[in-house]
Amino acid sequence: MSNATRACIALLLLAAAPAFAQQAPAFAQQAPAAGATPPAPLAWSSLAPEQRKLLSRYAGQWDSLPPARQQTLAYGSERWLGMSSEQRDKARERFSHWRELPPEERHAMRGRWQSFQALPPNEQARVRENFHKFQQLPPARRQMLREQWHKASPAERQQMIEHARERGGKGQMPRPSQAPRPQHR
């Protein structure tokens, strides 16, 4: 993922500050609050045969895995089995791309994900919505917005974010003629 793409996604996350309002999947949920009951161990035999086949490399150590890890693996295997072959191919491609990223980029992306997860559900929903709107734009427009974001100073980026928030539900970034002009540094 290029720096411009990451910057644009960051802009969308900040400007939208509300769009991914779905319940977080089990693997993305945070540790239980103090006093909450920790997850119960999951018996290997309670998994569907297809899940056991998919998770066969964990069979010998399943009972020694922490219950939260068991739950995560069970949930992930259930999701995987529910995917079409096309969705699985895309997931493999994304995972391959993830493994190729330098550790510092993965760390930064995890941090952004955690920041996103810390947003209230209505703000997560807005971020998701704006991201999907961005994906619907023609490629040339997306590239222009990435370049505009990449060239902007931090102050100009903040102005762009504020302008996007003012526009509210319109979900569009300012056109180049309306956008703050980059200042020479």
Given a cut of 80, whether residue 180 has pLDDT beyond it is no
> For the whole model, what pTM was predicted?
0.52
Cβ atoms 39, 68 nearer than 8 A: yes
Q: If you search the block for the tokens 């400007």, which residue do you land on?
A: 15
DSSP label of 83: S
Q: If you search the block for the tokens 């995560």, which residue do you land on?
A: 72
Cα separation, 178 vs 56, in Å, equals: 57
Given a cut of 60, whether residue 17 has pLDDT beyond it is no
182: which 2 tokens?
Answer: 């980059």
Give CA separation, 96 vs 39, 41, 99, in Å: 30, 30, 5
Given a cut of 70, whether residue 103 has pLDDT beyond it is yes
Cα separation, 163 vs 159, in Å, equals: 6
Give pLDDT, residue 167.
76
* 32-39 mean pLDDT: 66
DSSP label of 56: G
Given a cut of 80, whether residue 170 has pLDDT beyond it is no
Cα separation, 54 vs 47, in Å, equals: 10
Given a cut of 70, whether residue 127 has pLDDT beyond it is yes
Give the whole-number percent of the chain exceeding pLDDT 90: 57
